[in-house]
Chains A and B, each alone.
Chain A
Amino acid sequence: MRFAANARGSANHFIALVAGLLVFVPIYLVFVNSLKTRAESSSMGVGLPAVPQWENYTTVIEDGDLVVAFLNSLLYSLSATAICVVLSAMAAYVLARRRTRGHKLIYLLLIMGIAMPTNFVTLMQVMQWTNLVNTQLGIILLYAAMQIPFSVFLVYAFVGSIPRELDEAAFIDGCGPIRAFFRVIFPLLMPVLVTLSVLSILNIWNEFLMPLYFLNSSSAWPMTLAVYNFFGMYQQNWALVSADVVLTIVPVIIIYLLAQRWILSGMSTGAVKG
């Protein structure tokens, strides 16, 4: 009995180890190949480089315009997230507190966006009418808009857990609706807003389709598009492509490891409670 349980325990650990390797190896590949020479990296093998080629990174940063792309990605993900978080929190708060027919309808209309596919062709036309096509402001507003439905959905559920008495106490103390929201409610929403921000930053950092449609000039490209374009130019040199990829994913991995508590909890509460 004891032996059988041990054997099963070892088998389970073995399965976990194999699955772990399957996840780990492809990610390891880009790191190790980013330090190889062009010839060594031609087959993207698992072996170590004879001499680590650190200059691959300087080459990539200079040839791939990565500094500009990095700053663009940072600008888009941070500002779109800030806009989305504030607007979604305000909307979710009012819609959750006032449950009239009209407000319920607005809520349903908003969260319908979670399922609605984007019509890129007509969106292009809207972007042209508003003079937002090929502008950084345009892509920021677009990203904020894309995140709003899910964000409203996530915050809406959370507002319900904050007692109304807190709003009322604020009103009695003479706060107007704006002060009551930003001074009292907004701080209490922090747990869900942090989760939301992390998810939104990662989503936008990783997004590829919007700039592909709506940003022509390479000076406005985020990391994803810069990497894709770089790959097109240097297909024969996997070492440089790997170095480029590493620079794109290191920020993501750092954010993920630092904020995994919020990401994992946010992902699951959204789905399990929702």
Chain B
Amino acid sequence: MNTRRAYPTWFALGALLLYGVFTLVPSVLGILYSFTDWNSYTTELSWVGLDNFATILTAGSNYMHVIGNTIMFTVATIILKTVIALALAVLLTEGIRRASSFYRVLFYLPAVLPIIVVSLIFRSILNPADGLLNETLRAVGLDAFALKWLTDPVIAMWSVIGVDVWRGVGYIMVILIAGLLAIPRDYYEAASIDGASAWSKFRHITLPLLTPVLAVVTVLNLLYGLKVFDIVFVLTRGGPGRATDTVYTMVFEDFSKGRWGLATALSTLLLIVMVVLAYFVIRVLQRDEND
């Protein structure tokens, strides 16, 4: 049987159809609508050119603030999750023998819980008056650190970041453990014979060989961070003020208030940023493979 008949292209049609209708079409439509003043107050639609983008990209606008928040959230969670997850992954593969698989299962557990549930739990833990965190801090005499975790505009974003790290670090850890286990043991044995210290083994064997996996992990965290919604929405609703608003909570707000043209323009900007980032990441990863 020839390949064309053996592997008919229509096998891919179902997947393409669903993907096309629910992902591609809305994205393309979104690009078109982002040049209009589409809103809930009038049925007339007029072309406004780049006005929506100008509104969003004006220095000092709410939108720029929200974009800044999203970048801060993304960068901070990438760094914190990767560093902590790497430390935990090394701990569970090298540091301890007993119970290491128990800890692996436990550390991953928060990642399978619904994000809105995690956010609800932490709303109570972070309650400034009688939440568990401040109660504990006061009990050990650290009253000065018993802060208004979710209502102080300076601290709120860091609390959201902290909760998200708690939730997501196990997932990254599991991927890094798989990466660590894929490194041949011989390298470490040879280094030991040469008298290499634990740090220099980590620096010169583990880190370089783990780079591709670290790149994948960074991409996963990046894609998640730029689209973050649930955790912010339930923990703070973007507040206090706009201290923790992100791109997706802003899109939701504009959508709810009927500012559809602006909401699509913001979504389109996110689309452009993510497609460009994905393109560069794929190119970098493929260059690594070809070397």
**A122 / chain B contacts, CB cutoff of 8 Å:** 25-27, 29-30, 33, 264, 267
| Residues 7-26 of chain A, each 1 if its beta carbon lies under 8 Å from chain B, else 0 | 00100110110011011111
Contact A115 B23 (CB under 8 A): no
**For chain A residues 187-232, which have a beta carbon within 8 Å of chain B?**
202, 205-206, 208-209, 212-213, 223-224, 227-228, 231
Q: Give Cα distance in the complex from A110 to B23, angstroms.
A: 10
**A103 / chain B contacts, CB cutoff of 8 Å:** 9
Contact A268 B121 (CB under 8 A): no
Contact A91 B12 (CB under 8 A): yes
Q: Give Cα distance in the complex from A94 to B109, angstroms.
A: 36
Q: Which of A110, A171, A209, A272 contacts B213 (CB 8 A)?
A: A272
Q: Give Cα distance in the complex from A228 to B231, angstroms.
A: 12
B78 within 8 A of A: no
A245 within 8 A of B: yes
Contact A113:B170 (CB < 8 A) given known A15-B91, A119-B30, A272-B175: no
**B95 / chain A contacts, CB cutoff of 8 Å:** 9, 12, 15-16
Closest to A256 in B: B112
Q: Give Cα distance in the complex from A126 to B251, angstroms.
A: 17
**For chain A residues 83-107, which have a beta carbon within 8 Å of chain B?**
83, 86-88, 90-91, 93-95, 97-98, 103, 106
**For chain A residues 225-252, which have a beta carbon within 8 Å of chain B?**
227-228, 231, 238, 241, 245, 248-249, 252
Contact A268 B271 (CB under 8 A): no
Residue of B114, B115, B227 with highest tally of chain A CB at under 10 A: B114
**B114 / chain A contacts, CB cutoff of 8 Å:** 205-206, 208, 223-224, 227, 248-249, 252
B113 CB, nearest partner CB in chain A, Å: 6
Q: Which of B23, B88, B99, B216 contacts A19 (CB 8 A)?
A: B88
Residue of A13, A141, A167 with highest tally of chain B CB at under 10 A: A13
**A267 / chain B contacts, CB cutoff of 8 Å:** 171, 174-175, 178
B125 within 8 A of A: yes
B135 within 8 A of A: yes
Q: Give Cα distance in the complex from A3 to B16, angstroms.
A: 62
Closest to A272 in B: B178
B118 CB, nearest partner CB in chain A, Å: 8
A78 within 8 A of B: no
Contact A148:B18 (CB < 8 A) given known A12-B91, A29-B124, A267-B171: yes
**For chain B residues 249-264, which have a beta carbon within 8 Å of chain A?**
251-252, 255, 260, 263-264
B188 within 8 A of A: no
| Residues 10-52 of chain B, each 1 if its beta carbon lies under 8 Å from chain A, else 0 | 0110111011011111110110010000000000000000000
A44 within 8 A of B: yes
Residue of A22, A112, A205 with highest tally of chain B CB at under 10 A: A112
Q: Which of A9, A125, A141 contacts B18 (CB 8 A)?
A: A141
Contact B124 A126 (CB under 8 A): no
A64 within 8 A of B: no
B130 within 8 A of A: yes
A51 within 8 A of B: no
**B121 / chain A contacts, CB cutoff of 8 Å:** 26-27, 29-30, 245
Q: Which of A20, A95, A213, A228 contacts B234 (CB 8 A)?
A: A228
A35 within 8 A of B: no
A50 within 8 A of B: no
Q: Give Cα distance in the complex from A24 to B107, angstroms.
A: 9
The stretch from B149-157, B189-197, B199-207, B274-282 touching chain A is B274-282
**B29 / chain A contacts, CB cutoff of 8 Å:** 119, 122, 125-126
Contact A120:B112 (CB < 8 A) given known A115-B223, A271-B220: no
Closest to B182 in A: A272
List the 10 closest pairs (A to B, CB-CB), nearest first.
A268-B178, A119-B30, A12-B95, A43-B130, A115-B278, A145-B22, A91-B15, A206-B114, A44-B124, A91-B12
Supply 13 further A-B pairs (C-beta < 8 A) apart from A29-B132, A271-B178. Answer: A12-B95, A16-B96, A44-B125, A94-B7, A94-B12, A110-B16, A113-B19, A116-B274, A118-B23, A121-B33, A126-B25, A208-B116, A208-B230
Q: List 23 A-B contacts (CB under 8 A).
A: A16-B96, A16-B103, A20-B107, A23-B107, A23-B170, A83-B18, A87-B18, A90-B14, A94-B8, A109-B24, A112-B275, A116-B27, A117-B274, A119-B27, A121-B267, A126-B26, A141-B18, A171-B6, A177-B11, A227-B120, A268-B178, A271-B213, A271-B217
